[in-house]
Amino acid sequence: VLVYRVELRTRNIYDFVLVASHLLREKVRHLCALPEDTQAVVAAGHSFYTVDLRDGYALHELSKGFAGAGAFAQPSFSYFGLSGNGPAVTIVPCGHGRSLIVNELHTAILRHANGHHRLEDSRVTLSAIPVAVSYLHPCYVVATYTKTLEVIDIESGSIVQDFKHMLNSPHVSVALSRRNALIGAGSLVFHFSVVSSQKQIDQLLSPSDAKDSGVDARMAGIDQALTYISSLDDTDPYFQDKLSAASLAKVRQLYLRDLQKEKAVLFFERLARYSEALVDIASEWVISLTDILPLFPYFLSGASYKTSDVVHADSRCHGTIKSVTVDDLKQFKLAEKNPDQPVSKDSNSRIAACFSAAVSNFIFYLTDQRRIHYSLLNSTAEISSIKWKGVELDALDIYPGLDAFKIPSMLLSCIATIDTTLFLCYYHTKPMLLGPLLRLPNNKCNANVVNDCLLEKVHAHNDDLEGFLSQLLDFYYGRELHDDALAMLKDLAHRAATSVERDFEKLLRSPILSIRYLQKLTNEHLDLVF
């Protein structure tokens, strides 16, 4: 590998001055400068190298520690032990810090960013040895064969479009731009027009073939649309036509967020992949509570106990999780306590496992939403906002259509819904965690919901009567609902006696609990006594 510097000697004479040379063990198959013009990639027989074009033209070998590396290291065969020409290698820069490496039928991806390079497996599968491989903006490669061509998504490897040109020639010329594609051989030339970004995205999200309209096709379309939008340049008309007061980076992230929301719902409802739906997507992309809450049954919704213009129940979801009832939960718990009972064990255990996994990930999502909503509430910006993926995400992005002056009250309402929903999740699935939640100094649980649920356990003579009542009293004390606490204790003390009273029920009927509660109060609450 020889590196020359071109110098102007006189007006019409240039000198080529040798500045660096590198002797390789194998024949050079291909050399390509990367788009950032700071590195060049050299493909040799079995190895790949980078040449630093800024710092002394140093040569560095790339590690081939990826699964498909063996396909790039197959030696050429020769009867006389001499190296033959070997397979043709092509390096195709594809924008956004990636290049596709093609070695006959084998492909790999070269990632390059900030001076770092990494070879990894590619999902692109070639149906034959191509005549030419070219990059098509923003995220495709066009593999041209003697009779056909294929437009392939670089990341997913799926074939987006194919065309039988029937040129039947090993010498096909290809010229691509953002708006046009020319393919020709001999005296025949095909001219293609590339449709707009909006039309391409619409086609990806709306499968035209009814038989391919299932969840797999829908998911593939969303993934391809995500790749497409992520690969678009800032100058693309797709963004320019939609710019408002928001920055271009924010517009891009919000469009990606909308697609991620659709993906999360598919993961949850159709594929039962709850961790990906609620943790990897909903939490990571700050998907609104209004989109996630309707995926769960009514008895877990902290919004169903109050009316709100922002957070409301939605009956559009009818999946396995949505259809679970309180009676089903009782059956699940009964089956756990009595595993020998024949209570449609297989189906019940499967649904119970799904429900438990969904609620566990839902709790993670709610906890993260609680943090985000408090950050928005404490924001000093004119419109409450947080730092997210390099942009300012404000409350109106999460809850569009809301009047700016209603943001503080809306955030408080959402926090109350989140805390109440967390309470209901713990109450129905993890009661041992109720205490820490109710003792939080800033918890905004709906007091009526907490009171009704915990008193229901007390009246039902639950095994942990004292624990539930203690949690309820802690909640009342932390929220300074002292009147309600004393009124509840009075009501419990005067309720009708049961046929067989246990020690704790005798304690309920005595004034001891009221006295203990009053002893915790300060002098400013003397009006509760006198």
378-436 pLDDT, tens digit per residue, is 888 788 889 999 889 999 999 988 888 889 999 999 999 999 999 999 988 888 888 88
pLDDT-derived band at 459, boundaries 50, 70, 90: low
Which of these, 155, 64, 74, 73, lies nearest to 117 by C-alpha position? 64
3-state SS, one letter per residue, for 343-391: CCHHHHHHHHHHHHHHHHHHHHHHHHHHHHHHHHHCCCCCCCEEEECCE
Confirm whether 530 is domain-assigned.
Answer: yes
Establish if 443 belongs to a structural domain.
yes
Top pLDDT among 491 and 158 is at 158
Percent of the chain with pLDDT over 70: 80
pLDDT per residue over 110-142, tens digit each? 998 877 888 999 999 999 999 999 999 999 999
Among the listed ranges 40-54, 193-207, 212-226, 260-274, which one has the minimum average pLDDT value? 212-226
Note the pLDDT of residue 398: 92
- Please tell me the predicted confidence (pLDDT) of residue 164: 94
* Per-residue tokens: 303: 């919004």
The domain of 475 spans 434-530
List the Cα angle 198/203/207 in 5-degree steps.
Answer: 155
Rounded to 5°, angle at Cα 55 from 54 and 58:
110
DSSP per residue, 251-307 = HHHHHHHHHHHHHHHHHHHTT--HHIIIIIIIITTT--HHHHGGGS-GGG-TTTTS-
| pLDDT for position 294 | 92
Average pLDDT score over residue span 185-190: 92
Judge whether 89 lies within some domain.
no
The model's pLDDT over 231-243, given as tens digits with 9 standing for 90+, comes to 987 777 777 766 5
Give the count of beta carbons closer than 10 Å to the beta carbon of residue 13.
8
- Tens-digit pLDDT profile for residues 13-60: 999 999 999 999 888 989 998 877 688 999 987 889 999 888 789 998
Find the mean pLDDT for residues 150-156.
Answer: 94
Could you tell me if residue 493 is inside a domain? yes
Quick one: pLDDT band at residue 497, thresholds 50, 70, 90?
low
Residue 210: both structure tokens together: 């009814």
pLDDT of residue 418: 95
pLDDT range class, residue 306, cuts 50, 70, 90: very low
411 neighbors 377 (Cβ within 8 angstroms): yes
Q: Which of 451, 449, 419, 450 is nearest to 437 (CA)?
A: 419
Per-residue pLDDT of 324-371, as tens digits, reads 888 888 787 766 666 555 545 556 678 888 999 999 999 999 999 999
How far apart are the C-alpha atoms of 204 and 226, rounded to whole Å? Answer: 10
CA gap 89, 130 in Å, rounded? 11
C-alpha span between 479 and 526 (Å, rounded): 18
Rounded to an integer, what distance in angstroms lies between the CA atom of residue 458 and that of residue 477? 18
Query: Is position 299 within any domain?
Result: no
What pLDDT shows up at residue 317?
Answer: 42
> In the chain, how many domains are there?
1
pLDDT value, residue 339: 56
State whether residue 476 is helix, strand or coil.
helix
Q: Are 175 and 182 within 8 A, CB to CB?
A: yes
Tell me what percent of the residues of the chain surpass a pLDDT of 90: 40
Q: Which residues contact 124 (CB under 8 A, 6 or more apart)?
A: 100, 107, 141, 152, 154, 157
385 within a domain of the structure (yes/no): no
Using alpha carbons, select from 121, 92, 95 the residue that is nearest to residue 109. 121
The amino acid at 107: T
- Regarding predicted confidence, which is higher, 480 or 1? 1
Residue pointed to by tokens 């000697």: 9
User: 111 has which bridge partners?
Assistant: 98, 118
DSSP H/E element including 490: helix 482-493
Mean pLDDT of the chain: 82
Q: Which of 1, 45, 41 is nearest to 20 (CA)?
A: 1
Comparison of pLDDT for 491 and 398, the residue scoring more: 398
pLDDT surpasses 50 at 491: yes
- Answer yes or no: is 27 within a domain: no
Given a cut of 70, whether residue 71 has pLDDT beyond it is no
pLDDT number for residue 241: 62
The pLDDT of residue 215 is: 78
The whole-number pLDDT of residue 307 equals: 34
Indicate whether 225 pLDDT > 70.
Answer: yes
Residue 337 in domain: no
The predicted structure's pLDDT at residue 242:
62
Q: What is the DSSP letter of 130?
A: -
